[in-house]
């Protein structure tokens, strides 16, 4: 498939003999590309998940592509470095054009480099809340979505059904779960992690939405769960996260009941309001985190991010629990 090699491989070598400054710059860029490309290519790999669905990994990031008789459904192009390699891997499997590029959410590190799919006439799909955010950031390397979807959308191509489900504010307002019921594949990026506990303070996530979403996703028929980072896993990872939140919720409530804010006011002697809340949050979080240890210490990041997860849960309940 020589006609479909990456842009880096199609550079005009003959121009290298020119001595003009712009061309020298080109030559420098070319040599950079030539030396960098093999290294970049080494970071790319593809795994076939089902007869039509493939997992693409580039370094720390991952996505899927779906092959149908009427074209390819691609997902997050990741970055300008990853996208040409992603397209190259797609071309190894099929000559069908890429009809859709579905953005899992608006975060820049997942959706750069989509212009490689524009010659195919691909439509760029995202939740409707993604467009103003992407426009607002104004990152040149991101193709703005041109097919905006609401909270439930069914995309069909070549007999393949893709359900796009907005499950709430999880990591960002525009996060959608990309579900292929026929293949039992779910791509749900930056929500359930493959490599350990939830991300830090769960920035950008509404805890209530997340827990409802986990319950909903747990009911789906899933053989392969794709996370946007790391390898794919299966539905047991969703169940693990749901249990993790259930336990963190329960322990945090119990610890706050045992030692309410009013008690901290009486006993801490802390008059500085910043330190008053910091010390309260840290005290409760460290206790609930310690109680989580017996069930979850084997999870990656339990000691570092796990303690931040616990702090986030305390802050959540400070705003949620009724007055003492
Ligand atoms: Zn991410």
**Angle, CA 103 vertex, CA 102 and CA 104 arms, to 5°:** 110
pLDDT > 90 fraction of the chain, expressed in percent and rounded: 83
pTM value is 0.85
Is the pLDDT at 123 greater than 90? The verdict is: yes
Domains and CATH numbers, the chain: 1-39 (no CATH), 43-234 (3.60.15.10), 245-318 (no CATH)
pLDDT > 70 fraction of the chain, expressed in percent and rounded: 87
190 C-alpha to center of ligand 1: Å? 5
State residue 21's pLDDT score.
41
State residue 283's pLDDT score.
98
108 C-alpha to center of ligand 1: Å? 9
pLDDT single digits (tens) 131-141:
999 999 999 99
More confident residue, 119 or 40: 119
**What residues are neighbours of ligand 1 (ion), with CB under 5 Å?**
190
**Cα–Cα distance measured from residue 247 to residue 252, given in angstroms and rounded to the nearest whole number:** 8
38 C-alpha to center of ligand 1: Å? 24
Is the pLDDT at 142 greater than 50? The verdict is: yes
Is the pLDDT at 208 greater than 80? The verdict is: yes
């Amino acid at each position: 498939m020589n006609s479909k090699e990456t842009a880096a491989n199609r550079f005009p070598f003959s121009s290298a003999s020119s001595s003009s400054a712009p061309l020298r710059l080109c030559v420098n860029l070319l040599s950079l590309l030539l030396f960098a490309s093999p290294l970049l290519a080494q970071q790319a790999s593809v795994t076939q998940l089902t007869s039509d669905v493939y997992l693409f990994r580039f370094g720390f990031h991952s996505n899927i592509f779906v092959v149908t008789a009427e074209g390819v459904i691609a997902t997050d192009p990741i970055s300008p470095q990853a996208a040409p390699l992603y397209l190259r891997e797609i071309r190894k499997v099929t000559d069908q054009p890429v009809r859709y590029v579905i953005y899992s959410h608006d975060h820049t590190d997942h959706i750069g480099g989509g212009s490689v799919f524009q010659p195919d006439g691909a439509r760029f799909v995202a939740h409707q809340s993604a467009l103003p955010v992407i426009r607002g950031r104004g990152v040149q390397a991101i193709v703005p979505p041109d097919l905006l979807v609401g909270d439930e959308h069914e995309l069909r191509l070549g007999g393949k059904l893709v359900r796009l489900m907005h499950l709430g504010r999880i990591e960002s307002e525009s996060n959608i779960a990309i579900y292929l019921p026929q293949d039992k594949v779910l791509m749900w990026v930056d929500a359930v992690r493959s490599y350990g506990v939830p991300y830090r303070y769960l920035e950008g996530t509404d805890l209530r939405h997340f827990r409802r979403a986990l319950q909903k996703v747990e009911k789906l028929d899933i053989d392969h769960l794709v996370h946007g980072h790391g390898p794919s896993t299966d539905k047991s990872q969703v169940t693990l996260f749901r249990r993790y939140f259930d336990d963190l919720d329960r322990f945090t409530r119990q610890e706050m009941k045992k030692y309410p804010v009013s008690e901290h006011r009486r006993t801490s002697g802390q008059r500085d309001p910043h330190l008053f809340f910091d010390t309260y949050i840290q005290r409760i979080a460290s206790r609930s985190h310690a109680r989580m240890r017996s069930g979850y210490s084997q999870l990656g990041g339990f000691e570092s991010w796990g303690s931040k997860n616990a702090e986030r849960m305390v802050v959540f309940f400070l705003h949620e629990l009724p007055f003492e």
